[in-house]
Structure 1
Amino acid sequence: MSANVEHLRTLAAVVDSGTFEAAAAVLRITPSAVSQRVKALEQQSGRVLVRRSKPVEATEAGSVLLRLARQLVLLEAEADAALAGEQDAVGAALPLVVNADSLATWVLPALARLDGIAFEIVLDDQEHTLDRLRDGTAMAAIGSDPEPVQGCTARALGSMAYRAVASPAFVARWCPDGWTPGAAAAAPVLVFDRKDALQDRYLAAFAPSARPPRHFIPASTQFVDAAVLGLGWGMLPDLQADALVADGALVVLDDDRIEEVPLYWHQWSLRSTALDAVAEAIAGESARVLRPTVSRGRDRARPRTVRRSPG
């Protein structure tokens, strides 16, 4: 099918804004005009493209056209900037999906080096970020799956290392005789959200029968704060925990078991100056701060708990 560019742009505005009325305000047209454009696109494609829920959601067919819409908007903005001779013009915001710990530690320094590019950053767990590429929500994502989504490319960035940590006061209360499977079964654990499996993977290796009470703290900075305050123990990346351990604010409970989370940069297979610049900035910063990823096939690339070699 050959879709009308204005209709595609309207589809993207409806999904991004969440309602037909909000999309109308963004596009500076009436809600009736928005509805007519979406209906025309649906008639042309022969499929329902959006669910009329609150917020509006793209259907599987709508996601296909949503990806096309975002590509056209991006390329159109870059073409307009090139014709105007504006090398540093800020066009449409690039939607990127990033896991919270990467955003809190190393992603922002990478993006700060870029001029003339606007971003719309969406947070999601590293094991679920690729869903945003599939449904057209994002143009690029940082995730833990090495396999690229159809129509996208993937490149290894490196691994983040996580260890079980807690405050000295927490240790004194819950494990004064040492960190044991018995202590892990009773001590409260911090979990980012219900997608966060890091603590469960650690417990599966260290204390398989443990079912400790849980605190859900869905923000990276506050998750660290909760650990420092003694609310519970949790798996923190070395990039966040090292300085706090050195200052005595946190204690490593088990320095032998390290949860390695490999990260990959996924982006649409699209020739875009802005998207390529972001990819290079991300790759450069990740090479500086992340561990090299050990990948020998799909299974080795998955998050895993490893034992450190003695010595």
Structure 2
Amino acid sequence: MKTIFNTAGLTLLLAWIAAGGERVVYVTTLSTSYSHVGQYQTLSGLFYQAPGDTTWGFMARPNNRVYSMDAYSPSGGRILAMATHTGVQQSWDGGKSWKTTSDWRMTEVSIIRFAAEDPRKLYAASPYGFYKTTDDGRTWTLQNNGLDHPDATFITALVIDDSRPGRLLISTEAGLFESDDDGEHWHTGTLEVNHVRTLVQHPRDPEVWFAGTEDHGLYRSVNHGKNWQKCDTGILHSTFYSVAFDPSHPDTLYAGGFQTGIYKSSDGGKTWKQFFNGLTSLDVHSLAVDPADSRCVYAGSTGHGVFLSQDGGLTWRHHGITGGYVWTIKIVNYEI
């Protein structure tokens, strides 16, 4: 493994992996700059860091633009998948080796997700629409039935409904779309707002959903997406890229976006307060809360790397990836 110092550049995913006492931070990048023996170099791909480390390691193929990743842990193993500019890449040995599982027609893949019940089933999204495989990536099927609006195939978020098998929700440039048959058919959602940027489901109450939009603020549904209401009491901004629940106390959640700093709600999204003490950038593109410690909150900024709060969002300090454009923070629990 290669150690990277002073990483900087366009970073598109930070994933915190909580693994039965072992935790690893994964960072995917489009472009990362660093210093090596007095020279300024660039490298893109997948980075990682263990808790307490001050340097970043590198895995996956170099100079590979990686947009997102996901992980699956059957019987203690570690299966990884990456969404990259050349397609989907998978690893069955914890990231030591990688294989491209999509063909030349499937490029600029921006989202990758494992199905909860079967690691051989994956969902992917690109500017061309929604893809699914049920055979571990050997074959992929484009499933755009119902995504008829010209902007509907440009997918910005993909969520698997934890409470209803086969139900998927995607946010697109044309608004929300839903599927009740595992992506075979799509129909428009009831949120009548375009340019939805993030979509999350409550970790304990599957009826509750939040959507962050560009220019239209935050919305909440308390009846499984049938109806949506704006939830902006205390909010002074309109563009949100990330919403994150505190897994241990899900009435607490955080939101961030364009020039927002960090907004925090302690009453399930009814009211919000803004925090930015210690942030050198107010542009927040990703958020995650440590499931083992609610005081630890991670924020990914655009252009200033990663920030960490250890007091529930009240104050922040820089946590590495200097100059990086962090796109997504994800927490995955490995089974050991």
Tell me if both proteins adopt one fold, taking TM over 0.5 as the criterion.
Answer: no
Name the TM-score, length of structure 1 as normaliser: 0.22
Name the TM-score, length of structure 2 as normaliser: 0.20
Structure with the bigger RCO (C-alpha within 8 Å, sep 6+) is 1
Structure richer in strand, relative to its length: 2
Structure richer in helix, relative to its length: 1
Q: Which has the larger radius of gyration?
A: 1
